[in-house]
């Protein structure tokens, strides 16, 4: 899986592909290991740097990942006996890299096991480096956030990014109480979600896809931040809505609660396939799926258009611990250009008097406020229009925008701007 990530694949996809043959318990164990290791990679590297001659950057990247996995098991996975963690990693290193590398793995991991009581690496004197190491984030990301929010709020955000994200579900075709009863009958503990009516947070460790309520299409998974984006959009009852970047489709489903018809389009065929499977499981109504490029929308103007654009996803680092290590400064320019193109093209298919909703799961101003401000400056026929008071809680509104922050609200990060076209 880690080799897949190095080849540019995303963690979710690599996990799906590599764990097909495992049962639910083993999948959970692998997930705990890999997600946990990636969330603490910076700290693990500091520990390894003190014990690998020449530092971790000097050794083969695959061996480095094996050492990180071994170290994480030794220090953070109490369920794994040290001899098993060391033995397994040494064996794997031998299979993949030969006897020399396996001796290194054996020596390093045994030493870490021996020194576990005094293992914490020294705190770097540079305050940003210290935060980056403690919370395992790239330093440049910590720097950019601390310039915006200050050190203490940045610390809270880094901490939130390392917390395990819970599964939150929404009822479909049944009311919340029915879904609660179905889950209760299956022995699944549920909790209400602050700020978002009808969503249910499931106790951790639930094998969701094995639940009857899932198989019967009585629920779908949606982080409260995504639900809030759609509630903030507040499309008119019975209207036709185009969701031009729709896959895997949870916002399209949420839109279909109020809309008369939702056109759910995405450019990526594989993701469209997955979206269709999801809608099929739910027996979803009032949704039409299309494969289409949002830069050239092939539809006639509609009452509301949502563009949930591709972005750096810095609001979802807690779910995708690989993303923080993949992020590059150049992503802002590359994705920014695409976001700009999609937003401008989407504007051409909004009816006069209609709504254009721009959203991201990024925390970054370049992808959020600045995109919208530039768009509004070039399109005087659109104005920012927050939904009526009470549609979403006041504490997720910020100057008319929707802004959800992991460390303030406890959900994924999200941003949205609701733009009204003049009649």
User: Does 311 carry a binding-site annotation?
Assistant: no
The distance of closest approach from Cβ of residue 275 to ligand SAM in the complex, given in angstroms and rounded to an integer, is 8
User: Does 248 carry a binding-site annotation?
Assistant: yes
- The rounded distance, in Å, linking the Cα atoms of 160 and 272 is 31
Which one, of 132, 120, 116, 112, lies nearest residue 42 by Cα? 132
First vs last Cα of the chain: how many Å apart?
Answer: 52
Residues with Cβ within 8 Å of 117's Cβ and at least 6 positions away in sequence, in order, are: none
Nearer to ligand SAM, 105 or 292 (CB): 292
User: Does 23 carry a binding-site annotation?
Assistant: no
Binding site for ligand SAM (CB under 6 A): 226, 244-251, 266-268, 271, 293-295, 308, 310, 342
User: Does 85 carry a binding-site annotation?
Assistant: no
**Can 361 be counted among the known catalytic residues?**
yes
Nearer to ligand SAM, 305 or 342 (CB): 342
Nearer to ligand SAM, 65 or 254 (CB): 254
Tokens of 225: 């931040």
The distance of closest approach from Cβ of residue 147 to ligand SAM in the complex, given in angstroms and rounded to an integer, is 26
For residues 413 and 224, the answer to whether their CB atoms sit within 8 Å is no
- The rounded distance, in Å, linking the Cα atoms of 145 and 363 is 9
The distance of closest approach from Cβ of residue 348 to ligand SAM in the complex, given in angstroms and rounded to an integer, is 14
User: Does 387 carry a binding-site annotation?
Assistant: no
Cβ count within 10 A of residue 98 = 10
User: Does 245 carry a binding-site annotation?
Assistant: yes
Which one, of 409, 311, 317, 394, lies nearest residue 358 by Cα? 311
Nearer to ligand SAM, 224 or 248 (CB): 248
User: Does 308 carry a binding-site annotation?
Assistant: yes
Q: At what angle do helices 82-97 and 61-76 cross, to 10 degrees?
A: 170
Three-point CA angle 136, 48, 38, nearest 5°: 35
What DSSP string runs through 357-408?
A: EEEES---TTTTHHHHHHHHHH-TTEEE-PPPTTSS-GGGEETTEEEE-HHH
What DSSP string runs through 13-68?
A: HHHHHHTTTS-HHHHHHHHHHHHHHHHTHHHHHHHHHTTSTT-GGGS-HHHHHHHH
The distance of closest approach from Cβ of residue 248 to ligand SAM in the complex, given in angstroms and rounded to an integer, is 5
The distance of closest approach from Cβ of residue 252 to ligand SAM in the complex, given in angstroms and rounded to an integer, is 7
Set 361, 396, 404, 417: catalytic member: 361
Nearer to ligand SAM, 93 or 199 (CB): 199
Instruction: List the binding residues.
Output: 245-251, 266, 293, 308
Catalytic residues, by residue number, are 361
Instruction: List the binding residues for S-adenosyl-L-methionine.
Output: 245-251, 266, 293, 308
């Amino acid at each position: 899986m880690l080799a897949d990530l190095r080849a540019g694949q995303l963690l979710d996809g690599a996990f799906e592909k590599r764990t097909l043959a495992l049962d639910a318990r083993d999948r959970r164990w692998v997930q705990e290991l890999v997600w946990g290791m990636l969330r603490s990679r910076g700290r693990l590297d500091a520990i390894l740097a003190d014990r690998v001659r020449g530092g971790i950057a000097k050794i083969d990247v695959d061996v480095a990942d094996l050492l990180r996995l071994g170290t994480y098991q030794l220090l953070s996975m109490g369920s794994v006996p040290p001899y098993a963690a060391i033995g397994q990693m040494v064996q794997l290193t031998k299979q993949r890299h030969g006897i020399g590398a396996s001796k290194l793995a054996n020596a390093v991991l045994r030493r870490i096991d021996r020194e576990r009581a005094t293992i914490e690496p020294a705190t770097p004197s540079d305050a940003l480096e210290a935060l980056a190491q403690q919370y395992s984030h790239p330093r440049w990301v910590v720097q950019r956030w601390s310039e915006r929010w200050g050190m203490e709020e940045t610390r809270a955000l880094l901490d939130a990014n390392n917390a395990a994200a819970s599964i939150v579900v929404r009822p479909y075709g049944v009311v919340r109480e029915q879904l609660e009863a179905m889950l209760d009958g299956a022995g699944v503990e549920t909790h209400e979600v602050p700020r978002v009516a009808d969503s249910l947070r499931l106790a951790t460790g639930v094998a969701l896809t094995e639940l009857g309520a899932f198989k019967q299409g009585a629920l779908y998974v949606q982080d409260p931040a995504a639900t809030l984006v759609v509630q903030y959009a507040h499309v008119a009852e019975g209207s036709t809505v185009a969701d031009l970047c729709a896959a895997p489709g949870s916002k399209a489903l949420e839109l279909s609660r109020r809309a008369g018809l939702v056109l759910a389009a995405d450019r990526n065929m594989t993701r469209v396939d997955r979206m269709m499977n999801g809608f099929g499981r739910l027996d979803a109504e009032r949704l039409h799926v299309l494969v289409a490029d949002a830069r050239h929308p092939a539809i006639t103007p509609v009452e509301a258009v949502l563009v949930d654009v591709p972005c750096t996803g810095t609001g979802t680092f807690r779910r995708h611990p690989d993303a923080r290590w993949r992020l590059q400064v150049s992503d802002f320019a590359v994705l920014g250009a695409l976001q700009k193109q999609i937003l401008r093209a989407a504007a051409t298919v909004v009816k006069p008097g209609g709504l254009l909703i721009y959203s991201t799961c990024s925390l970054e101003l370049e992808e959020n406020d600045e995109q919208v401000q530039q768009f509004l400056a070039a399109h005087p026929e659109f104005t920012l229009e927050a939904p009526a008071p009470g549609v979403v809680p006041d504490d997720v509104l910020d100057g008319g925008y929707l802004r959800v922050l992991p460390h303030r609200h406890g959900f994924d990060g999200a941003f949205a701007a609701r733009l009204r076209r003049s009649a």
